[in-house]
Every structure is written in structure tokens, then in C-alpha cells.
């Protein structure tokens, strides 16, 4: 039996056993999905690269390998129904432009998502666009930061350093405690909720959320996170400024543990600020740096499903090395922005889209 035939056989078994619905409960037979994943990865390895820089196999393999089980099932179905090399390339490109680029870029506008390979993609996109009524604004973030500061006890949630502005303004805080400037940190970037009445932008944002929801259903079903509600405490934390950029670039993430609201700080190679390590919690006996979220304010804590999405995408970006490609495309061509002073299409967006499409 060839790899492709083996994959078809294994996937058919998965679908007949588990049905077509995407449940948030663990599948009754996860080994069946794992077997199908192995066949799927074998099919992806046989992909014929368009050119040496084509990283379609790496992107697809990273998604299949690192998504939670319900996400794996979605990917298996997607690859099964779009198994030619051209279709596999289109899947990888869409996952890159719809999810990886907006997450890695953090803020600012990014190229539109490529055509979605998902079934009923247009209907799903338009359905989510229908609930997008009012784009969040930057002014909302000032109130959100104040809310998160109260919830986080005016401290960075990772280092415990006090927010310097709060220490100055609030008399009862310890004036001798170590302080640092802090920033409001979104887990899912603010840019994924910003469309400001631009119909084309709104449609693109809706498509990106439709894809996110497809492979991370917990974002909506558990966390109930929507584009218009991107500025919500469950999607935000207080961090010192030095950590904000690293988190936004997915150079570290918060992995869930067996204890509720307790997370392991997962550091990746690009986390270069070794001087910050002294401020992070020390490793425990298992080598994990743990942080526990709690509050007496009644304000909602960062939601586990949102943090899991960020953590999984960090794994995917590093496993596929796509994060390096995205960052280079943005960093090396930043000067192109000045070429669009007349209000025409931003050359940077064209450049990034080109760089991603040729890989």
C-alpha cells in the first residue's frame, strides 16, 4: 500500500469512528488519530518542492504534529480532501497568511489571507463577518491596561516587578520595591480585531478568524473570544516592557500544567534577553519555570484556551522555522513603507506576500 493509499485508509477509519463533528472532548480512540497522522506526515514528506526554499512540508508537518487532537482531526480531513502537491502548497500558504503571519507580526497590518482551502470557506467567513459590528480602538486599550493592572496587582505577571507608574501614583504601594515600566500584552494580537469600517479589511479579518476557529475551536466555544472583543481581560496580561516584544513574537509562551491557572514558561532559542532570566521564577525540580495566576479583584484571568492557542502556534512557528522567514521579510524590507507616501498600496505588504508565496 502506498503512503497516499495508507493515509486514505487510516483517515477513513478515523472519520467513520469519530464522525464529522469537531468535539472539544478528547477522542475515544486518540491512537487512531495518531496512526492517521503518521500516514499524513508520510504523504507530506513525499511532497515535491517547487524550489529549494519551498517549506510546505515543514509548515504542514508542524501543524499536524503540534495541534491538539481536535485540531489534528481538522488537518487530517483538510489534507485528505486536498492531497495534490498544488493543493498542499495552497493549504500551507493559507495557514501561513491567515494565522502565522498575523500572530508573529504582532501589531500592524499584514497581507491578506490567501484563498481558504476549507469547505464552505466563504460562508464561514461571511458568517463571522456578520458578528463584527464595531472594531476595537486603541483608546480602549488604556482602560484595559488599567483593568489588567488592578487584576494583576499592579505587577508584571511573570517577573513580579511592580508597575513603575502605579508605585508613583498609588500611595499604599511599596515605594522601595523593584519596579519597571509595564505594558498591556494581548495574547491574540490587537491587529486581528482592527478593521475600522474598511470592508475589505473586515472581510480579511473575518477569514483569519474563521481559520483560527476551525483548528482552535476552543477559542470560541470555551473562551468565547471574538474579533470585536479582542480588548478583553481574558486576552490580556501585564508584562514588563522588555518581555512584551518577546511574547508578541512568540519567542516564549505559557504552557498549561496539571494545576489550574498554573503555567510553565516555555523559552525558545530566539529569546535572547538572558538578563531577564534572573527576574523569572527559578526552575523547579523538573526544570520548569512556573507562574500561577490569581486575583481577588473578580476580573477574569487570562483564559487557558487563548494561552493554549498562543503556545501551540509558538511551537509550530519554531518547528517549521517559518517564524524566521516571516520576521526577515518584515525586518529587512521595513524601509519600503516610505514608498507608499502617496496612499497607494504599501510595498511592504506586496513584498511580504511575495516572499511568503514563493517559499
pLDDT score of 345: 46
- Rg from Cα positions in the chain: 21
More confident residue, 359 or 32: 32
Q: Name residue, grid cell 458568517.
A: 127
Residue 12: pLDDT band (50, 70, 90) is low
Question: Per-residue b/e over 188-203, b at no fewer than 16 CB within 10 Å?
Answer: bbbbbbbbeeeeeebb
Is residue 188 a contact partner of residue 230, using CB atoms and an 8 Å limit? yes
- pLDDT, residue 221, reads 92
Minimum mean pLDDT range among 36-45, 254-263, 344-353: 344-353
Q: What is the pLDDT of residues 43-102, one digit of tens each?
A: 999 999 999 989 999 999 999 999 998 899 899 989 988 889 999 999 999 999 999 999
Give me the residue spans of the domains in the chain.
Answer: 124-358
Number of H helices, E strands in the chain: 15, 7
pLDDT tens digits for range 211-252: 999 999 999 999 999 999 999 999 999 999 989 989 999 999
Write phi, then psi, for 246 (nearest 5 degrees): -65, -40
Beta strands in 164-251, from DSSP E residues, in sequence order: 179-180, 182-186, 236-240
pTM, full prediction: 0.88
Question: Range with the lowest mean pLDDT among 102-116, 284-298, 310-324?
Answer: 102-116
Residue bearing the bigger pLDDT, 184 or 7: 184
How far is 130 from 313, CA to CA, in rounded Å?
Answer: 27
Amino acid at each position: 500500500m502506498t503512503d497516499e493509499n495508507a493515509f486514505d485508509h487510516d483517515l477513513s477509519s478515523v472519520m467513520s469512528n469519530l464522525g464529522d463533528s469537531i468535539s472539544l472532548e478528547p477522542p475515544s480512540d486518540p491512537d487512531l488519530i495518531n496512526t492517521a497522522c503518521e500516514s499524513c506526515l508520510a504523504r507530506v514528506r513525499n511532497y515535491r518542492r517547487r524550489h529549494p526554499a519551498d517549506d510546505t512540508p515543514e509548515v504542514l508537518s508542524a501543524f499536524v504534529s503540534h495541534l491538539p487532537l481536535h485540531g489534528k482531526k481538522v488537518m487530517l480531513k483538510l489534507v485528505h480532501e486536498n492531497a495534490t502537491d498544488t493543493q498542499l502548497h495552497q493549504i500551507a500558504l493559507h495557514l501561513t497568511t491567515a494565522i502565522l503571519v498575523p500572530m508573529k507580526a504582532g501589531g500592524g497590518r499584514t497581507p491578506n489571507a490567501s484563498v481558504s482551502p476549507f469547505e464552505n470557506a466563504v460562508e464561514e467567513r461571511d458568517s463571522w463577518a456578520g458578528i463584527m459590528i464595531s472594531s476595537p480602538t486603541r483608546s480602549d486599550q488604556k482602560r484595559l491596561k488599567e483593568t489588567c493592572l488592578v487584576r494583576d496587582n499592579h505587577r508584571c505577571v511573570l517577573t513580579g516587578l511592580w508597575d513603575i507608574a502605579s508605585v508613583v501614583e498609588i500611595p499604599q504601594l511599596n515605594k522601595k520595591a523593584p519596579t519597571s515600566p509595564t505594558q498591556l500584552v494581548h495574547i491574540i494580537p490587537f491587529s486581528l480585531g482592527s478593521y475600522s469600517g474598511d470592508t475589505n479589511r473586515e472581510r480579511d479579518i473575518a477569514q483569519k478568524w474563521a481559520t483560527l476557529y476551525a483548528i482552535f475551536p476552543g477559542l470560541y466555544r470555551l473562551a468565547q473570544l471574538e474579533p470585536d472583543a479582542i480588548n478583553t481581560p481574558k486576552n490580556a496580561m501585564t508584562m514588563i516592557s522588555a518581555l512584551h516584544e518577546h511574547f508578541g513574537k512568540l519567542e516564549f509562551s505559557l504552557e498549561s500544567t496539571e494545576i489550574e491557572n498554573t503555567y510553565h514558561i516555555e523559552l525558545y532559542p530566539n529569546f535572547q534577553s538572558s538578563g531577564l532570566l534572573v527576574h523569572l521564577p527559578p526552575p523547579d525540580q523538573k526544570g520548569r519555570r512556573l507562574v500561577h495566576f490569581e486575583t481577588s479583584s473578580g476580573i477574569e484571568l487570562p483564559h487557558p484556551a487563548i494561552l493554549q492557542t498562543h503556545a501551540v502556534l509558538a511551537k509550530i512557528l519554531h518547528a517549521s522555522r517559518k517564524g524566521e522567514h516571516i520576521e526577515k521579510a518584515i525586518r529587512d524590507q521595513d524601509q519600503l513603507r516610505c514608498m507608499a507616501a502617496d496612499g497607494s498600496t504599501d510595498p511592504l505588504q506586496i513584498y511580504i506576500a511575495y516572499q511568503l508565496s514563493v517559499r
